[in-house]
A = this chain, B = another copy of it.
């Protein structure tokens, strides 16, 4: 039903994606700022008040770093891209470039459930765009150098889908449980390590 002609090598798309991730990571730091002309005590207090901002910065570096690594893995064997891959990648870029905004909300209004919901929604959208690109590439073998095994693909999709689901269920739940639900995201660490190892063993 959807036809799609290959449109050449992925190099420039990868350069654009790497650029956007590099800038999104670096822009996060613009929100770390201290007013000018404070007295020494107020200055040290202002620095202490930046600790949640630093936490939000670290979280977003981890999130963006993981998704960049994810993107690198998806495109590792890609030889050519077509119009749909470009469009879906642009969608993903638009979301990745957006991450500094919910990060700022989390840093400044982390006690408000809506901040956590917006953040989780953005991360879920980023994950979903990567899953969509991976799914399109999986169905077009001629765009790839080689073909990953069925098991590797299933594990990869399971890994990606789990992350999306974890962040997605946070969106409504945070209004019930309050912002502490964020700590639940840590469940992804052992889960991804476990899937990552199985992926390495099979892939």
Residues on A close to B: CB < 8 A? 3, 5, 7-8, 12-16, 18-30, 32-34, 36, 38, 40, 43-44, 47, 57-58, 61-62, 65, 68-69, 72-73, 76, 83, 86, 90, 93-94, 97-98, 100-101, 104-105, 108-109, 112, 114, 118, 196, 200
Contact of A18 among B12, B72, B98, B105 (CB under 8 A): B12
| Nearest chain B CB to A67 CB, angstrom units | 11
A15 partner residues in chain B, CB cutoff 8 A: 14-15, 18, 22
**Interface residues of chain A: helix, strand, loop or mixed (majority):** helix
Task: Check B16 against A16 for contact (C-beta < 8 Å).
Answer: no
Q: Are B44 and A114 in contact (CB under 8 A)?
A: yes
Contacting residue for A97 out of B61, B72, B83, B86, CB 8 A: B61
Q: Which residue of B lies closest to A199 (CB)?
A: B5
Q: Which of B33, B44, B58, B76 contacts A104 (CB 8 A)?
A: B33
| Distance between Cα atoms of A16 and B65 in the complex (Å) | 10
Q: Which residues of B contact A40 (CB under 8 A)?
A: 112
Quote the shortest CB–CB distance from A89 to chain B (angstroms). Answer: 9
Q: Are A23 and B21 in contact (CB under 8 A)?
A: no
Interface pair A72/B12, CB less than 8 Å apart: yes
Residue from A5, A19, A114 whose CB has the most chain B CB atoms within 10 Å: A19
Report B-chain residues with C-beta under 8 Å of the C-beta of A22.
15-16, 19-20, 22-23
Find out whether the CB atom of B76 lies under 8 angstroms from the CB atom of A8: yes
| Complex contact B29–A29 (CB within 8 A) | no
Which of B34, B65, B83, B86 contacts A94, CB < 8 Å?
B65
B34 near A108 with CB under 8 A, answer yes
CB < 8 Å neighbour of A29 from B18, B25, B27: B27
Is A101 within 8 A of B32, CB to CB? yes
